[in-house]
């Protein structure tokens, strides 16, 4: 969904509070680790992760009359699984979000959520594919938790990306803790 002029006016009336979070898969013994690059182990030879996410969880929020509370958005970077060694980065939106809420989440957070591991070096920023899926984020005062199970059957394409590998479908799952980053108020 593209924001219309009326929707753009809604963006000016946003009040949102939440927290950024992230985690890297399999690059160090921290649980969870979200360093980018990871300096927890051998800083001279950092290991790239198996995957990396950067996300945000909204605690409360409204855009005009549109409620945004308790929605989650995250960016996921993972290898394409082919001989090229290239990685793909996609944006995942909470399946509970309506098309209007999805558009607002994309407008607010798409440019803020970057999950490419620093060990890969600079990456061109292209328009990522955006999917809707079941995201379960549980806030906890000491250890927030994320559960995601991606298969082609659990994904709904919201917007195609510009650099999407033909025939590539993300398959990934995670059920574990995430590292909190800073809180935000917009």
How far separated are the first and last CA of the chain, in Å rounded? 22
Task: Please tell me which residue, 11 or 24, carries the higher pLDDT value.
Answer: 24
**Domain assignment of residue 106, given as a range:** 5-185
Q: For residue 7, what pLDDT band results from cuts at 50, 70 and 90?
A: low
pLDDT at 177 over 60: yes
For the chain, the domain total comes to 1
Least confident range of 30-39, 102-111, 170-179: 30-39
SS3 of 82-100: the string is CCCCCEEEEEEEECCCCHH
pLDDT at 5: 44
| Assigned token pair, 102 | 């999805």
CA dihedral 25, 29, 30, 36 (to 10 degrees): -50
pTM of the shown model: 0.87
């Amino acid at each position: 969904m593209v924001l219309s002029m009326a929707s753009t006016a809604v963006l000016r009336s946003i009040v949102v509070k939440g927290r950024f979070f992230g985690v890297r898969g399999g690059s160090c013994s921290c649980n969870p680790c979200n360093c980018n690059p990871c300096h927890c182990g051998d800083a001279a030879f950092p290991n790239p992760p198996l995957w990396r996410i950067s996300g945000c969880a909204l605690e409360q929020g409204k855009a005009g009359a549109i409620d945004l509370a308790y929605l989650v958005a995250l960016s996921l970077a993972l290898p394409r699984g082919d001989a090229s060694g290239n990685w793909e980065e996609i944006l995942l939106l909470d399946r509970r979000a309506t098309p209007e809420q999805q558009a607002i989440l994309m407008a607010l957070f798409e440019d803020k959520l970057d999950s490419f591991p620093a060990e890969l070096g600079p990456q061109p920023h292209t328009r990522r594919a955006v999917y809707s899926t079941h995201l379960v984020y549980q806030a906890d005062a000491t250890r927030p938790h994320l559960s995601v199970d991606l298969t082609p059957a659990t994904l709904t394409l919201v917007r195609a990306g510009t650099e999407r590998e033909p025939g590539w479908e993300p398959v990934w799952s995670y059920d574990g803790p995430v590292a909190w980053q800073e809180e935000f108020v917009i």
